[in-house]
A and B are shown apart, each in its own frame.
Chain A
Amino acid sequence: MEIMNATDTTLVHLLEENSRIPTPELAAMLGVPAAEVEERIRTLQAEGVIRRFTAIVDRSSSGQAEVSAIIELKVSPERDHGYDRLAERIARFEEVRSVRLITGTYDLHVLVTGRDMQEIARFVSEHIAPMERIRETATHIIMKSYKENGTLMLGRDGGGERQPFSF
């Protein structure tokens, strides 16, 4: 997709906020026919602008415990490939939720999830740490999450007591 027009931009924004809004409602908001909305979403997916529709889950509320850790890696870049080949190898592991090249003391910032701390420790020591070109790792267990993907995880906002009527 070369350039997203204003309607695409608004559509993407709406879906980022809530990907379950039914098509007729999106159509009414955007002022275009429902069929056009469907077509635009298909195109956005085909072009890789929209990668996946998913849900943001608060594990602490779900009762299904999960442990996450941030793993920072110092890496010796490869001639011709830089960090890309190693980063892609790491990214392919199921346990890895995100991989990012960053500035600063470390080079790669990796988010890993597992059932418990042992599982993460084993994964890092067996699969990540021994990789060639990794010079140093620092693992930070996430103790509590306050905001994920722009969504507050603080319990539901009270919002005060709104009156039923005001003029």
Chain B
Amino acid sequence: MRDPVSRAARMIPPSGIRRFFDLVQTMDDVISLGVGEPDFSTPWKAIDACMVALEQGQTSYTSNRGMPALREQIADDLARDFGLCYDPETEMIITTGVSEGLDIAIRAVTDPGDEVLVAQPSYVSYAPCVTLAGGVPVPVPCLERDRFRLVPDQLTERVTPRTKALIMNFPNNPTGGVMTASDLKAVADVVEDHDLVLLSDEVYSELSYEQAHVPAATIGTLRERTITLNGFSKAYAMTGWRIGYLCAPPELADAALKIHQYVMLCAPSMGQVAALAALRSAKAEKDAMIEAYRLRRNLFVEGLNRAGLVCHMPEGAFYAFPSIESTGLTDVEFAEQLLAEEHVAVVPGSVFGEGGAGHVRCAYAVSHEDLVEAVNRIERFIASLADRPALAIEARQPVT
């Protein structure tokens, strides 16, 4: 039989931490800081609105672009909160999570052989989606010394005549880094000079703790070449509902819409109903969750630093990204041994691409009690490393 699997499917890497899953299955007291989702349930008003809609039989397809009322509400909120104006009729698509938005956006702009810059560390799907679209992902590191921001020098070094687009995500998963207006301006200059399309994943926009989030499309004339992606999963604790949205100028939105029509038809109708209810009536619940994340962040980062890891204060999202280099272990070794010995699950930073090695991602969207216990276990783990210097030194030997 000839090879039944496509080259593209072969080319994309499998999940980097499959064996971690297998190890977790053997334990019953794992504290997982490995999950990129809120520990809260969706605000009840959204759930209740969805149940009412289901009882009324609202179970049909919606318009391809998504329910008009939801698009109008999103447009109003973006204009009010960020001064970001999109026409809900021609410049917006409700997507099945930001994941689908990313996929159709990447496919809408990428020709075979096009290079797409991917600011890393990043969410794991960007580069594989570029590959699946026939493009060539080009990692651009956001370094700890730059507070995990994207700086123009790193970009210009990697731009070639084949470069078509840049994908970035701020506030960032996994680093918690954010971009100020002036940081964005510097990136905008490079993007415009080289005539690139910008794909800006802003799903953590509500989770910006020190300053108001600045959408990339509000900078200079970036709007005309930017696809903004956002969704309800993080801010409204709605991961399982799979509702996101894509905003772009009509030409780009139309291109994405064609792909969306063929592969998705429309986002789930019940999720759209819940998302609309969340926007209209769950602001207090959302704000309370964000305040809880901020306080947990303070608690957790203080605990990590006390435990002996170097951790910058993440300004957004709900991840801490401590350096574990002081332990002498690689990030994969650290994560494996921490899980095996103390039953705390974290994600090795190298999974998130360039600039991630030597760090681990810890999601602090877990209960107060679990966070405190996780810090205790991490502290004990690091202390145990000090008692076995031979191991640590061995781990530091270069591979020959």
Chain A interface residues (CB < 8 Å from chain B): 10, 14, 18, 21, 25, 28-31, 157, 159-160, 162-167
Contact = CB atoms under 8 A, between A and B. Distances in A.
Given A28-B303, A159-B41, A165 B295 contact: no
B50 to A, nearest CB: 15
A159 B372 CA distance: 21
Given A165-B32, A167-B351, A29 B298 contact: yes
B41 A25 contact: no
B299 interface: yes
Interface stretch (B17-25, B69-77, B217-225, B324-332): B17-25
Interface of B: 17, 20-21, 24, 30, 32, 34-37, 39, 41, 123-125, 173, 240, 291, 295-296, 298-299, 302-303, 345, 347, 351-352, 368, 372
Contact of A28 (B35, B125, B299): B299
Contact of B41 (A10, A157, A165, A166): A157
B345 A165 contact: yes
Contacts of B302: 28
Given A29-B296, A30-B298, A157-B41, A164 B34 contact: yes
Contacts of A21: 368
A164 B30 contact: yes
A29 B41 contact: no
B295 A164 contact: no
Contacts of A25: 299, 368, 372
B28 to A, nearest CB: 12
Contact of A162 (B35, B123, B368): B35
B35 A165 contact: yes
Contacts of B345: 164-165
Given A162-B35, A165-B34, A166-B36, A10 B295 contact: yes
Nearest to A22: B372
A30 B291 CA distance: 11
Contact of B32 (A14, A31, A159, A164): A164
B368 A18 contact: yes
Contacts of A29: 295-296, 298-299
A83 B108 CA distance: 71
Nearest to A14: B295
A165 B335 CA distance: 12
A164 B41 contact: no
A124 B32 CA distance: 52
B36 A167 contact: yes
Nearest to B296: A29
A159 B240 CA distance: 12
Nearest to B302: A28
Contacts of A165: 17, 20-21, 24, 32, 34-35, 345, 347
Nearest to A160: B240
A56 to B, nearest CB: 16
A18 B367 CA distance: 12
A164 B35 contact: yes
Given A10-B291, A162-B32, A165-B21, 12 more contacts: A18-B368, A25-B372, A28-B298, A28-B303, A29-B295, A29-B299, A163-B35, A164-B24, A165-B24, A165-B32, A165-B35, A166-B36
